[in-house]
Amino acid sequence: MPSGKRARQQRQAAAATAGRTPPPVRSKGVGGTRSRQASPKALGIAGGVALVVIIAVVLAVVLGSGGSGSGGGGGNTANLPNIGNASSPVALQGAQEANDLFKGIPQKGLVLGNPTAPVTMEMFIDVQCPICRDYEVNNLPTIVQKYIRNGKVQLHLQPWAFLGPQSHTGRLALIAASFQNKGFQYAKVLYDNQGQEESGWLTDSVMGQIAASVNGLKVHQVLTQKNDSATSQIASAVDQLAKAKNVQGTPTILIGPTGGKLQDIMPPGYAPTLQITEQAINNALANA
């Protein structure tokens, strides 16, 4: 199955020929429908070559990291500061922008914005999803500045995990950061520095660096609490909510009046755009 970015490029190229540009496709995770299939013979040859490459890569990773797997272990965390700071020597790219974006906005757990805001926006994400990254980096800042900062919209973040083991590990760290009411800053820094899906990039060291990039965040507390039962309970609740709302991919955004029914703003299979997000918010505000 092509990656989210590749699939979107293919659809945009096809649309250019037809004279129209469709919205990007959502990331569908493991088990999504493939757009095309190679012949069995080609698959056999490619599979044999790929197997040799995979074995070599796995051996290199195991030997180089002391056997840490893709679930988030590994890396040196002893040199991390106790309290995060965007100016820290270990702070990652985009740290200052992430801290500035959410500065002064009420934040409680995984909810951002005025709790009495007339409109609610609910966003299901996967920390490894490249389409989520595109939305977070390119679109969410506009939503924050135009609708959340002024108290019109409250945002509920739902960190889902369906792309692989690191999705689960990464979201636990995000949830742990939310216990200190800094989960949105953590998510922004994470997406600004997102690595290749299931490449082993999201180690304890990297998760610690992300935490160290957030002003005032207790770094080692995040690394400890990501393994707590309370964190796992919230993750399980997100899974149950995604199932109840029939969420099929990420990012999925639902918008509606606070206390009322929230509606998925895009047709099944398509990722949200900034224009459609704003249209949905404005419609909800008009009917609130």
CA distance 72 to 128: 13
pLDDT band at residue 269 under the 50/70/90 scheme: confident
Question: What average pLDDT score do residues 209-234 get?
Answer: 97
* Token pair in block for residue 62: 């195991």
Query: Residue 36: is its pLDDT beyond 60?
Result: no
Per-residue model confidence (pLDDT) at position 273: 96
Which residues face 107 on adjacent strands?
Answer: 112
Quick check: 11 pLDDT over 80? no
In tens, the pLDDT along 93-116 reads 999 999 999 999 999 999 999 999
Note the pLDDT of residue 2: 39
Structural domains in the chain, sorted by start:
4-65 (no CATH), 95-287 (3.40.30.10)
Task: List the beta bridge partners of residue 27.
Answer: 250
> 227 or 16: whose pLDDT is higher?
227
> Residue 161 pLDDT more than 70?
yes
Q: Say how many C-beta atoms besides its own lie within 10 A of residue 214's C-beta.
A: 31
* Mean pLDDT (whole number) for 267-277: 92
Q: How far apart are CA 107 and CA 128, in angstroms?
A: 23
**Arithmetic mean of pLDDT, 131-141:** 97
Reply yes or no on whether the pLDDT at 52 is more than 70: no
pLDDT digits (tens, 9 = 90+) for 179-204: 999 999 999 999 999 999 888 999 99
d(CA 244, CA 187): 24
Helix (H) or strand (E) holding 24: none
> Is 60 exceeded by the pLDDT of residue 281?
yes
Give the confidence band of 16 by pLDDT, cuts at 50, 70, 90: very low
In the prediction, which pLDDT does 125 show?
97
State the Rg of the chain over Cα: 20
**What is the pLDDT of the chain when averaged over all its residues?**
82
Counting residues of the chain whose pLDDT is more than 90, the rounded percentage is 67
Give the model's confidence band at 268: pLDDT under 50 very low, under 70 low, under 90 confident, else very high: confident
Output the six-digit token pair for 28. Answer: 């569908």
pLDDT value at 50 more than 60: no
Q: What residues form DSSP beta bridges with 120?
A: 154, 256
Q: How far apart are CA 257 and CA 176, in angstroms?
A: 28
- Evaluate if residue 33 carries a pLDDT over 50: no
**Mean pLDDT along residues 216-230:** 97
DSSP state, residue 112: E
